[in-house]
Structure 1
Amino acid sequence: MYAWMFRRLPGPLWLRIVLTLLVLAVVVVALFLWVFPAIAPYMPFNAGTVDGT
């Protein structure tokens, strides 16, 4: 799948590498800004199991 996407990008090799890094950065930012905060309340590691007394 990734090879197909890489072949479909326009331009020479250096431009395809830059575009791939840009797309990867956008995906990571989207995950941290919207996806991870949206699913955080449903993750089991958010509930503390150690009593602080």
Structure 2
Amino acid sequence: MTEMYGALWRILPGPVWLRIILLLVLIVAAVYALFTWVFPWVDAQLNPINVTVEE
């Protein structure tokens, strides 16, 4: 697992401060993609049952 992070760190260009900014941008983009496309698609595939609590 640490080899993957090391490889990613070596691939990113620039000094350390720029690499940190790029990593943060990549993380934000990945989270945005998950919440925008992946999670809604998975939710539609699972077809959850609508559960309501009645009094």
Q: TM-score range by the shorter chain?
A: 0.7 to 0.9
The question of 1:39 aligning with 2:48 is answered: no
- Taking the aligned partners of 1:49 and 1:37, their CA distance within structure 2 comes to 18
Equivalent AA in structure 1 for residue 38 of structure 2:
V
Single out whichever of 21-30 and 35-44 deviates more from structure 2. 35-44
What do the CA deviations read for 1:6-53 (whole angstroms, capped 9, x no partner)? 111000000000000000000000000000001102337x32456636
Q: RMSD of the TM alignment (CA)?
A: 2.0
The question of 1:4 aligning with 2:15 is answered: no
State how many pairs are aligned.
52
Unmatched tracts of structure 1, length 5 or more: none
Q: Tell which has more relative contact order, 1 or 2 (C-alpha 8 A, sep 6+).
A: 1
Unmatched tracts of structure 2, length 5 or more: none
TM-score by length of 1: 0.78
- Taking the aligned partners of 2:30 and 2:9, their CA distance within structure 1 comes to 16
Taking only the aligned residue pairs, the percentage that are identical comes to 40
